[in-house]
Amino acid sequence: MTDTTPLAPQTSEPLQFVTDLLEDIGHPRPDLRTLTDPHEAARLIAEETRSRITAVLDKFGGTPVVLLSGGVDSIYVAAVAVALGAKPIAVTILTEGRSHEQNAAAATAALGLRHDLIRLTPQEVSQLSRDTMRRLGTSELWEVTAGIPILAARRSIDKITELGAILNGSGADAIFGGGKRLTHPVASLDATDELDRIIRTESAANFRYDRLVPHFYPALLDEYADRLVHVFQTVRWWQIAERFAPPALLECVTA
C-alpha cells in the first residue's frame, strides 16, 4: 500500500514540532517507503530545499545567517541560499580538539561568503557552559553541549543590524537516517523495516515540544529565537522523507 495523502503546504515557520502535529509518527510504516531511485530522491531533496529556504528568506528579509558547523547539512543549506541569490553570513564555532574548520573554510570560500570563525578557549567554554546551565535550568550534558555553540554564535548575531533568518541544517540526519548503518542488504525488505524503525524512533523522540528543556532556543537566543530556522524540521519535509527507501537514501549522496 502506498500513501496518497497530499503534502502539507510549504511553510515559512522557523520549525514545526512534527510529532505533536501528526498522528503517531513513531508507528512503523515501511510500506510508505517505495521510492528507491537515488536520482529521484536527490531531485526531490534539492527541489524541496530550494522551496523551503525561499519561503523563509522571503518572510524574514534582512541579512540571513547560516550556523555552519562544516558538516554536509549546514554546507548544503548555505549553498542553496547562495543559489537563490542570498548572501548569508556563515558563523562557525570552534573548540579545541573538535572542529570541521577546514570544511567550513573551504565551503565559505567557494561560496564567497563572509565567514565569522569564533574560536573558544577552554576558559570561554567553561564560562559558556555555566551561562548555558543558568539559562536552561539544567546541567544535563547533552543539553549543555548543544547549547554552548548556539550561545557563542550570538557574538556574531548581535552585531548584525538588520538580521534575517538564522538557518541551520539540524533535523536532516533524523529524517534521512544520516550516519546510520543497516544490518541487512540495502535493497531488502528487512532493510526498509530497519531504516523505517530507526528514523521514526529518533524523529518521534526529538521533533516534539515537550522535551527536557522545551524552551531551549528562547532561553539561549532570547529575541532571536523566532528567527532560528530548522530547514528540515517541517511536516512537509517529514511527509516527503518517509517515502524514501534505503536504496534512495544510502545511494543518493554518491549518485
Q: How confident is the model at residue 180 (pLDDT cuts 50, 70, 90)?
A: confident
Percentage of the chain beyond pLDDT 70 is: 95
pLDDT in tens, 114-156: 999 999 999 999 999 999 999 999 999 999 999 999 999 999 9
Quote the CA–CA distance of 80 and 125 in Å, as a whole number: 31
Please answer whether residues 94 and 72 qualify as being in contact, where contact means their C-beta atoms are separated by less than 8 angstroms: no
Question: What's residue 232's pLDDT?
Answer: 98
pLDDT value of residue 95: 86
pLDDT(101) > 90: no
CA distances from 57 to 61, 85, 229 (A): 6, 10, 10
pLDDT band for position 100 (50/70/90)?
A: confident
pLDDT tens per residue, range 150-162: 999 999 999 999 9
pLDDT at residue 114 in the model: 97
Q: What is the mean pLDDT of the chain?
A: 94
**pLDDT tens digit sequence for 218-243:** 999 999 999 999 999 999 999 999 99
CB 56 within 8 A of CB 252: no
What length is written for the chain?
255
Q: Element (H or E) spanning 166, and its range?
A: strand 163-168
